[in-house]
Chains A and B, each alone.
Chain A
Amino acid sequence: MTAAARLREDATRRRLAALGLPEGGAWANAARRAALERLAAMGLPVRRDEYWRHTDPATLNAPEAAAAELPDGAAPPAFDAIDSLRLVFVDGVFAPERSDDPRLAGVEIERLSEAATRDIHWARELYGTLEARGQDPVARPFAALNSAFATDGALIRASAAAERPVALIYLRESEASDAILHHCVKVEPGASLTVLEAGPGAARLNTVLEVEVAEGAAFHHVRVQGRDPARRSVTHLFGRIGAAARLKSFTLTKNGALTRNEAVLELAGAGGSAHVAGAALGDGAFHHDDTVFVTHAAPGCESRQVFKKVLRRGATGVFQGKILVRPAAQRTDGYQISQSLLLDEDCQFLAKPELEIYADDVKCSHGSTSGAIDETALFYLRARGVPRAEATDLLVLAFVAEALDEIEDDRLRAEVLARLEGWLTRHRS
């Protein structure tokens, strides 16, 4: 056995020893057992794995979550000002008394812990299914671990155009909470839904969001991770996009010791569209990793990946993005850009933007850049009387604008922008 295989086996054994498979109804038991088998077969990641070269999984593998100082509670979580249906989770446990009444016209909302006790449920077809599909060709062990051990989360089914977004608010009250949340979203043909996510969640948070967007449906996802320098999170978004359906996801990350956001999207029906974007702002001990895998499996689809990172004082940004175009996916339009702005000398940006293309009638491009702030632009602004700090902020905002533009809703974009500006003000040099 190689050294890496031994490490993997060891890490997996130690982690599994600390976890017990939850008991539920027939469908949940079957899904959890299957996920555990997947996890046991692939094992937890080690540094030698191709997609973990730049992110050390040790703290995510550890049986116990390391304690993380609580964030100062002064600022309200994001999206407070947005009219939404709020579902509040405290340290990974649903808090009905702090949440809104989960009734929304055309939308069915249930708690995973309750639905899992039943023998039959619509989520049976979705829970763990997209996660399992997303394991090939690249293993995503923390997602399999999530499907096996998650006890809480939201199951949302939209059969019409939802009039308000559903907001998943993650609060944190414990210093060493270790939370696993699993959400399933099904957007029925022609329906539309927006899901918001905000808050620190736990000292160590593992979330999976599985989204099935049926023919002609639309799903929007806007997420703000932040205000919590010591937090560690590993998140997965699995999306399957049907014919003429749309999925858009945007994430703003501010600080956090370690964040790994994976998006695994499959364009399964003709004429579908998938956009995934992110802006990450990190200062100091900040490690942020975006790992994106977009598969074009049907003809005439469009995909965009837009990722911007602003790094200060030793922060690290990682981007691993792939566009896979299968032979059937003629007339594909794929675009991917990953850029980072290194504001201080000791920051680093590690990127692997990949294309894998098996169809000839395609238009695919990717770009990746990294560098310091443009001194000429800075000089221009300063020559016009803008102080250095403000001029820098302006250039940073201009830099991340392309990612922000992926948020369609004006109010949501304004809310995210306000958060971003707040961070810049707090982290001026």
Chain B
Amino acid sequence: MVALDIEVREGVDRETVEAVRSVGAYKYGWETDIETEYAPKGLDEDIVRLISAKNGEPEWLTEWRLDAFRRWRGMEEPTWAMVRYPPIDYQDQYYYAKPKSLSAKPASLDEVDPKLLATYEKLGIPLREQMVLAGVEGAEGAPAAARKVAVDAVFDSVSVGTTFKEELRRAGVIFCAISEAVREHPELVRKYLGSVVPPTDNFFATLNSAVFSDGSFVYVPPGVRCPMELSTYFRINAENTGQFERTLIIADRGSYVSYLEGCTAPRRETAQLHAAVVELVALEDAEIKYSTVQNWYPGDEQGRGGIYNFVTKRADCRGARSKVMWTQVETGSAITWKYPSCILRGDDSQGEFYSIAIANNFQQADTGTKMVHLGRNTRSRIVSKGISAGQAQNTYRGLVSMHPRAAGSRNHTQCDSLLIGDRCGAHTVPYIEVRNATSRVEHEATTSKIAEDQLFYCRSRGMSEEEAVALVVNGFCREVLQALPMEFALEAQSLVAISLEGSVG
């Protein structure tokens, strides 16, 4: 645990401790000095056309974007979330930024600009096809326990490269940048793009539909269990640039895929916009596991800078007995506005949502889920753990809806909030709509602070206050941490500790 690294004991070099303190807890705040090609600032139809042309898109997609853009101009930014931020000037942003070295698409990873490779190396995401042992660094050539993770790396507006493509192709799995999928698999993209989150869905999703630049595309054919974890790593590097990625995952009948998503950005004085759309489609008997560790730059201790994270994530459990599991660890971003949802359309389909949201300093998080039960005997489970510290505001917002046709369905929701310090806030806004009598819905929520006796117990065994808090908080989050794939669970656990540094004492 990182908290251990900075504990102050006799004989520990004070300077080191202070140095660590002064940099703050955010480890990924550095930037890569790389020549970047921008589209002109601002947003109009020409910019939309330019992004479409840069990606070499067919005309139907250009028109699709333009339709979204025209609609977006008439839409109003939503205000219902419990987040406050100065008005965003949508004309004062770059909507497309691409490292110059990527202007000719590299044929293989060997041709990628070493600076970019080094960036991902530094982030702990090596873009080499190597075995990665869960959470342990330097595990190359490790024995049997090693697992493979295929990575698609998105840098500002473009995908840098995707690993293990060949091996995945042999299994029939398509894993590539969405810009590539538009060219290589237009029939799949055209069939599914916007079928879960239509371009008309909401202000930020419509904006994304107009200007999305890259993101990942996954297709798992019928009956295939994806041979390795798939992962996308999003990095914002350029200043004043919004990132608008679009992810589309289709699990065909009886298939299984586990997908991980990570994100970071440099420290900057000004806030940056991130508005992504993620669409998941699970057909009959398919299962998708989607895990996120969101660690965008959260802004500094005074609340300056940070990422504004407005994300629309939705899964359509289209087929009978399909299953989608969302797991998220939200520690970053100045503003989080995110509600990964499941439309449980197929009979006996299942949706699960496990979330840890941590807000420290001046962070504001308004996050939760929607479980829309349309099919019979559908089941959903929600476990949400919100932690507020400093002067942060953390809101769980959720909807559980049982339609008249969804007979015999079940939902259980548990949302717990923990407050650390007396200047933060923790809020719960669940909507429960039950429109048939044979379904059961249960919702429970608690809010409390860390029990003094638990802290005392840890302290009396020689732990520092921060370690004790980290331990108690990890216990509080355990149910969610357990739902994460092992590689992420370890990282998330230490992230929980880091995010809360400086929140006590």
Contact = CB atoms under 8 A, between A and B. Distances in A.
Nearest to A330: B422
Interface in B324-340: none
Contacts of B438: 345, 372
Given A327-B422, A355-B447, A365-B446, 17 more contacts: A342-B436, A342-B437, A348-B433, A348-B435, A349-B433, A349-B434, A351-B432, A352-B430, A354-B428, A355-B445, A358-B424, A360-B422, A360-B424, A360-B449, A361-B422, A367-B444, A368-B432
Nearest to A320: B431
A327 B423 CA distance: 7
A364 B449 CA distance: 10
B77 to A, nearest CB: 15
A357 B427 contact: yes
Nearest to B436: A345
A344 interface: yes
Contacts of B442: 367-369
B112 interface: no
Given A346-B404, A355-B447, A366-B428, A360 B419 contact: yes
Interface in B410-436: 417, 419-436
Nearest to A367: B444
A22 interface: no
Contacts of B432: 349-353, 368, 370
B448 interface: yes
A282 to B, nearest CB: 13
Interface string B393-408: 0000000000010010
A347 interface: yes
A352 B431 contact: yes
A367 B419 CA distance: 19
A371 B441 CA distance: 7
A193 interface: no
Interface residues of A, number: 35
B419 A350 contact: no
B423 A352 contact: no
Interface of B: 80, 404, 407, 417, 419-449
A359 interface: yes
A205 B100 CA distance: 72
B448 A362 contact: yes
A28 interface: no
Contact of B434 (A327, A343, A350, A353): A350
Contact of A361 (B404, B445, B449): B449
B354 to A, nearest CB: 20
A23 interface: no
A118 interface: no
B445 A353 contact: yes
Nearest to B440: A371
A357 B425 contact: yes
A350 B431 CA distance: 8
A205 to B, nearest CB: 28
A345 B435 CA distance: 8
A352 to B, nearest CB: 5
A360 B388 CA distance: 9
Closest 10 A/B residue pairs (Cβ):
A342-B437, A360-B419, A371-B440, A351-B432, A355-B428, A368-B443, A370-B434, A365-B446, A364-B447, A360-B449
